């Protein structure tokens, strides 16, 4: 839009990328597998992570960093499940950055951790261009949002190694067209692994949990 702000944004993005690379190197050294979970507001990030922590936190030392503009609602929902939890409130900022993740980890401590989950701010645009040092970006898309979202938010979907279709228990009630949606995901992110699940009914959760367990065991060499 504006050459001046674009130049500065590029410089800031480059700085973020350097910080993210440093985080990724430290995760590798410490054997931590890190995922960055992104979606629209209300796609079910916290619901999925509640069930994920219920299953995995007792067996895998896990930390979770939760980003929101305001409130610590999500951190409270994720607390008490055996994982370390820290809420970042961005006070209007539309995404998390690597320096926020670094600051959160400095407070939480990384000793002995195997899995780090970052729940990003609910936004399908801005988090797409901010690497947080993760080994895997996981984008959620609920069946209530419409089949064309991968086409309309291609940067996010293109940069994701995993796409999770959530709330599949509502597919029939919403008239969700599964084939069209899967085709749209594949058109934008042909290599992404796709899961279809409902955190509420538990349908499809086993495949997601097995995949995560396997990735954590394999270490963080897969990038």
The nearer residue to a second copy, 142 or 160, going by C-beta atoms, is 142
Q: Single out the residue of 29, 174, 183, 201 in contact with a second copy (rule: CB under 8 A).
A: 174
Using rule CB under 8 A, residue 124 touches a second copy: yes
- For residues 18, 37, 145, 171, the Cα torsion angle rounded to the nearest 10 degrees is 150
Q: Single out the residue of 10, 22, 41, 178 in contact with a second copy (rule: CB under 8 A).
A: 41
Using rule CB under 8 A, residue 106 touches a second copy: no
Using rule CB under 8 A, residue 180 touches a second copy: no
Residue 146 falls in which region: left (phi positive, over 0), alpha (psi -120 to 50) or beta? left
The nearer residue to a second copy, 93 or 211, going by C-beta atoms, is 93
The nearer residue to a second copy, 154 or 219, going by C-beta atoms, is 154
Q: What is the closest distance, in whole angstroms, from the C-beta atom of residue 155 to a second copy in the complex? A: 6
Strand order in the sheet with 136-142: 84-89, 62-68, 115-119, 33-38, 136-142, 162-166, 193-196
Burial per residue of 73-86, b for 16 or more beta-carbon CB atoms within 10 angstroms, e otherwise: ebbebbbebebbbb
Q: Single out the residue of 10, 59, 112, 151 in contact with a second copy (rule: CB under 8 A).
A: 151
Number of residues that bind a second copy (CB under 8 A): 41
Contacts (Cβ under 8 Å, ≥6 apart) of 14: none
Residue ranges binding a second copy (CB under 8 A): 1-2, 4-5, 8-9, 12, 40-42, 68-71, 73, 92-94, 97, 121-126, 129, 142, 144-146, 148-149, 151-155, 167, 170, 173-174
């Amino acid at each position: 839009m504006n050459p001046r702000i674009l130049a500065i944004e590029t410089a800031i993005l480059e700085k973020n990328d350097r910080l993210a690379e440093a985080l990724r190197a430290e995760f590798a050294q410490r054997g931590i597998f890190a995922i960055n979970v992104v979606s629209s507001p209300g796609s079910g990030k916290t619901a999925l992570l509640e069930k994920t922590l219920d299953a995995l936190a007792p067996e895998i030392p896990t930390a979770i960093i939760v980003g929101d503009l305001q409130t610590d609602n999500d951190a409270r929902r994720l607390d008490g499940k055996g994982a370390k939890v820290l809420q970042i409130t961005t006070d209007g900022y539309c995404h998390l950055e690597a320096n926020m993740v670094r600051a959160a980890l400095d407070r939480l401590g990384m000793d002995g951790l195997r899995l780090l989950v970052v729940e990003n701010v609910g936004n399908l645009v801005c988090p797409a261009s901010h690497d947080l040092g993760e080994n895997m970006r996981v984008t959620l898309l609920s069946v209530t949002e419409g089949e064309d979202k991968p086409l309309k938010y291609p940067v996010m979907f293109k940069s994701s190694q995993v796409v999770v279709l959530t709330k599949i228990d509502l597919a029939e009630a919403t008239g969700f067209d599964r084939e069209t949606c899967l085709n749209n995901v594949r058109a934008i992110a042909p290599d992404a692994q796709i899961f279809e699940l409902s955190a509420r009914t538990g349908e499809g959760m086993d495949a997601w949990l097995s995949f995560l367990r396997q990735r954590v065991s394999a270490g963080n060499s897969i990038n």
